[in-house]
Amino acid sequence: MNKIKESTNFEKPSPLFKDEISIVFATDDNYAPCLGGGGIQSLIENASENNNYVIYILDGGISPVNKTRMLSLEIKNVKIKFIDMSLYTKNINIKNFYISGYFSFASYFRLFIPEIFSNFDKILYLDSDGILLDDPAKLYNTDLEGNFIGATQDIGLLSINVPYENMYKYIKNTLKLKNPCKYFQSGVLLMDIKKLLEFNFFDRCIQKIKEIKKPKYLDQCILNSVCYGNVKFLDPSWNVENHCFSFDKQLSNLKNDLAGQFQEAKKHPKFLHYTSGLKPWNTPSVMNGELYFNYARKTPFYEELIYRYSKIDTKKEFAKIYNNFFERLFSYKIIITPRRGFRLLTILGIKITLPYNIRETNTLDCD
9-38 confidence digits (pLDDT tens): 568 999 999 999 999 999 999 999 999 999
**From 46-50, 200-204, 223-227, 327-331, the region with the lowest mean pLDDT:** 327-331
Q: How confident is the model at residue 7 (pLDDT cuts 50, 70, 90)?
A: very low
Q: Which carries the bigger pLDDT value, residue 27 or residue 158?
A: 27
Q: How confident is the model at residue 77 (pLDDT cuts 50, 70, 90)?
A: very high
Is 364 domain-assigned? Answer: no
Is 361 domain-assigned? Answer: no
Same domain, yes or no, for 238 and 340? no
Same domain, yes or no, for 120 and 257? yes
- Measured CA to CA, the distance from residue 152 to residue 168 in angstroms comes to 19
Same domain, yes or no, for 139 and 76? yes
Domain that holds residue 339: 315-355
What average pLDDT score do residues 3-14 get?
A: 65
Selection from 141, 136, 171, 138 nearest residue 153 by Cα: 171
Is 360 domain-assigned? Answer: no
Selection from 41, 265, 31, 246 nearest residue 153 by Cα: 265
Same domain, yes or no, for 206 and 339? no
- Measured CA to CA, the distance from residue 361 to residue 163 in angstroms comes to 8
130-132 and 271-273 strand pairing: antiparallel
- Measured CA to CA, the distance from residue 131 to residue 239 in angstroms comes to 10
What amino acid is encoded at 273 in this protein? Answer: H
CATH number of the domain encompassing residue 294: 3.90.550.10
How many Cα neighbours within 13 Å face the side chain of 296? 23
Is 362 domain-assigned? Answer: no
Is 141 domain-assigned? Answer: yes
Q: Of the residues 281, 297, 314, which one is the last residue of a structural domain?
A: 314
- Measured CA to CA, the distance from residue 351 to residue 330 in angstroms comes to 9
User: How confident is the model at residue 351, as a pLDDT?
Assistant: 64
> Does residue 151 register a pLDDT over 70?
yes
Q: What is the pLDDT of residues 204-257, one digit of tens each?
A: 999 999 999 999 999 999 999 999 999 999 999 999 999 888 766 666 666 667
pTM (2 d.p.): 0.85
**From 62-66, 229-233, 351-355, the region with the lowest mean pLDDT:** 351-355
Same domain, yes or no, for 213 and 253? yes
Q: How many domains does the chain have?
A: 2
Is 366 domain-assigned? Answer: no
User: How confident is the model at residue 255, as a pLDDT?
Assistant: 62
77: CB partners within 8 A, 6+ apart: 47, 49, 51, 52, 53
Share above pLDDT 70 across residues of the chain, in percent, rounded to a whole number: 77
Is 292 domain-assigned? Answer: yes
Same domain, yes or no, for 310 and 339? no
Same domain, yes or no, for 198 and 337? no
53-59 and 184-192 strand pairing: unpaired
User: How confident is the model at residue 106, as a pLDDT?
Assistant: 82
User: How confident is the model at residue 277, as a pLDDT?
Assistant: 84
Sort residue 366 into left (φ over 0), alpha (ψ -120 to 50) or beta: beta
Same domain, yes or no, for 261 and 336? no
**From 58-72, 166-180, 202-216, the region with the lowest mean pLDDT:** 166-180
- Measured CA to CA, the distance from residue 18 to residue 286 in angstroms comes to 40
At 181, is the secondary structure helix, strand, or coil? helix
> In the predicted model, what is the mean pLDDT of the chain?
85
Is 363 domain-assigned? Answer: no
> Does residue 79 register a pLDDT over 70?
yes
User: How confident is the model at residue 321, as a pLDDT?
Assistant: 46
> Does residue 338 register a pLDDT over 50?
no
Same domain, yes or no, for 220 and 168? yes
Same domain, yes or no, for 258 and 321? no
Same domain, yes or no, for 301 and 336? no
Same domain, yes or no, for 282 and 323? no
User: How confident is the model at residue 121, as a pLDDT?
Assistant: 97
